[in-house]
Every structure is written in C-alpha cells, then in structure tokens.
C-alpha cells in the first residue's frame, strides 16, 4: 500500500498551479485534502505522474456572504470550517446539517469542499447537497474562467465537467426562496461511514400552504447525485400531509435504479430511499411551515 512514483509540486499561486496543470494535462492531479486521492494512490488505483498541491493557495479557502442571503465557499475550505461556520448555518442550513455526516472530524479537518465535489464519489453527501441547492461551480484554467451549474457539473461516477487543466475554485450557493425548508437524512452502517442511501430534500410552500416547489436528491443510489424529478413533481400543488409525502417518497424510490453490493441489495436500497425520503420531506415541510 505504497503509491507508485510521482513528481510533486507546491505552487505558490493559483496562476502557477494552473500553469502546471496546463503543462502536465492528464498526467497531473490536483491535491486538496488528500482524503480520497491519497488512499486511491496507496491502493495504486490512481497513479498520477504529477501531483499539484493546492494546500498553499490561501486564496482558495474562505466562506463569504454573497449578496442577499447567498454564500460563496472557496474550493480549498476545509469541511470542518464549513461545519462550524455560523454564516453557513444561517445561509445554507442544509449544508450545515449535512457536514457532520461526512466521515469523522479528523477527516473533515483535512478534507475540502472542492475536493469532495471534484471527486464526485457516488456515495458522497456534498454533490447531492450542491444539486439540491442549485449551487454554481466557479472553474478556472490558465486562460479563462467559467461557471457551471451543479446540474451540469456531475457527469458520472468519479466524473465531473472539469477538464484536466481546470481547477474548481469556488462554489456559490444562491439564497433559498422564501418559505423554503430543507432536510437531510442518511443511513450508514456505522457513525461516519459512507451511506447506504442518503437523501436531501427541499420544499418551498406557496402563501396558501401548498407546495410550490420541491426537490429530492439521493446519493449512493447511482453514479452520482440522483434527482428524483417525477416524485418531486407529484408533491407540487399539493397540501403536504403525511399521505402526500408518503406517495412522493414511494414514487421516488421507484424512480431511482440503485445498485446492489455486499452491504445492501437494490431492493433494500429502494426500501431505504423511500423511508429516508419520507422522513426528509416531513422535516423539510415542518421547517417550511414554520417560516410561513
């Protein structure tokens, strides 16, 4: 469990980092918290010839307010910093609620928000949350910048819209519409494990108390965050009582196509998806109702 040989660079500036990526292309990998990349290298599942260490790029870390109610988080911000940020608790409560479920404090002390999103592990929490909150990814390369919507960013298992010479630099979370409630649920075998199934819910109520918009995003059930579009639609225009939420959760569990592995069959995952979706929707509605 020792990595294959590699070259190691510690750029002092974002430009230097981008230049290194431009030079080495597919041979290079950016190193953020290393909590996913280094184990993969030790198993020799990943054998990058060049590592570009982002840990000296202080500009890439930080949590800032963005306009009225929005939030910007630098890609190199440690997960633990996000977890403890009052600003995040206030402006992106879903993010705050989710973070303690990611691994253990030791790992969150190193692991970064950008690293998790760029890695797009199908069992990871943050991609699902980013999708549920309509986050926007700010992406840089040597001669340009682009902004990618979460819905266009996560392309498949361990795959995103990032090109090899690009870095994710910042994630922007827009404010939630008024009368919106969010909730997060997951089922993991042990504290801190990747979930067997997890789910983020977001519900917006109209003035009349009916559902005007809702969103259910699962993880660990596919090749990245999986949005249950049809199931969320069944709630729209409904009064969000237990029966309606149960029906929506049930529909969601039929809409997804989860995998089987040694920890859970597809059927058990589907069962869990229905349970967790119902619980998450219920709490999200409670919270939204409280804001009315």
Ligand X SMILES: Cc1cc2nc3c(=O)[nH]c(=O)nc-3n(C[C@H](O)[C@H](O)[C@H](O)COP(=O)(O)OP(=O)(O)OC[C@H]3O[C@@H](n4cnc5c(N)ncnc54)[C@H](O)[C@@H]3O)c2cc1C
Question: Can you give the binding site for ligand X, defined by CB under 6 A?
Answer: 29-37, 39, 54, 75, 102-103, 107, 111-112, 114-116, 118-119, 121, 124-126, 162, 167-168, 194
Site for other proteins in 247-286 (CB under 8 A): 262-265, 268, 271-272, 275-276
Q: Is 191 in the site for other proteins (CB under 8 A)?
A: yes
- Give the residue with the Cβ less far from other proteins, 3 or 62: 3
Q: How far is the CB of 36 from ligand X (least distance, A)?
A: 4
Q: Can you tell me which of 135, 187, 280, 285 binds other proteins, judged by CB under 8 A?
A: 187
Q: Is 12 in the site for other proteins (CB under 8 A)?
A: no
34 binding other proteins? (CB under 8 A): no
Measured CA to CA, the distance from residue 9 to residue 240 in angstroms comes to 54
Q: End-to-end CA distance of the chain, in Å? A: 55
Choosing among other proteins, ligand X, none, which partner's interface includes residue 182 (Cβ < 5 to 8 Å by kind)? none
Compute the distance between CA of residue 289 and CA of residue 292 in angstroms, rounded to an integer: 5
Instruction: Mark 194-233 with x for binding to other proteins (rule: CB under 8 A) and - for no binding.
Output: x-x-------------------------------------
Task: Confirm or reject binding of residue 1 to other proteins (CB under 8 A).
Answer: yes
Nearer to ligand X among residue 42 and residue 90 (C-beta): 42
Chain residues that interact with other proteins, rule: CB under 8 A: 1-5, 43-44, 187, 189-194, 196, 262-265, 268, 271-272, 275-276
């Amino acid at each position: 469990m020792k990595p294959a040989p590699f070259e190691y660079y510690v750029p002092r500036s974002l430009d230097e980092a981008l230049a290194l990526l431009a030079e080495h292309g597919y041979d290079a990998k950016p190193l953020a918290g290393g909590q996913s990349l280094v184990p993969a290298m030790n198993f020799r599942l990943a054998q990058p010839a060049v590592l570009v260490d982002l840990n000296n790029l202080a500009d890439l870390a930080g949590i800032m307010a963005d306009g009225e109610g929005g939030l910007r988080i630098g890609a190199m911000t440690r997960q633990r910093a996000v977890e403890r940020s009052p600003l995040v608790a206030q402006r992106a409560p879903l993010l705050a609620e989710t973070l303690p479920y990611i691994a253990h404090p030791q790992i969150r002390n190193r692991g970064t928000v950008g690293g998790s999103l760029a890695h797009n592990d199908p069992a990871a929490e943050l991609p699902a949350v980013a999708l549920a909150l309509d986050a926007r990814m700010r992406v840089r390369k040597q001669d340009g910048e682009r902004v990618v919507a979460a819905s266009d960013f996560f392309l498949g298992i361990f795959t995103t819209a990032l090109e090899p010479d690009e870095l994710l630099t910042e994630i922007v979370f827009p404010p939630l519409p008024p009368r919106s409630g969010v909730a997060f649920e997951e089922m993991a075998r042990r504290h801190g494990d990747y979930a067997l199934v997890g789910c983020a819910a977001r519900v917006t109520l109209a003035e009349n108390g009916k559902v005007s918009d809702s969103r259910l995003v699962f993880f660990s059930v596919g090749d990245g965050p999986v949005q249950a579009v049809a199931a969320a639609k069944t709630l729209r225009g409904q009064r969000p009582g237990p029966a309606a939420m149960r029906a929506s959760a049930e529909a969601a569990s039929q809409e997804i196509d989860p995998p089987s592995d040694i920890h859970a069959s597809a059927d058990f995952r589907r069962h869990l998806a229905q349970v967790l979706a119902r619980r998450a929707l219920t709490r999200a509605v409670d919270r939204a109702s409280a804001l009315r």
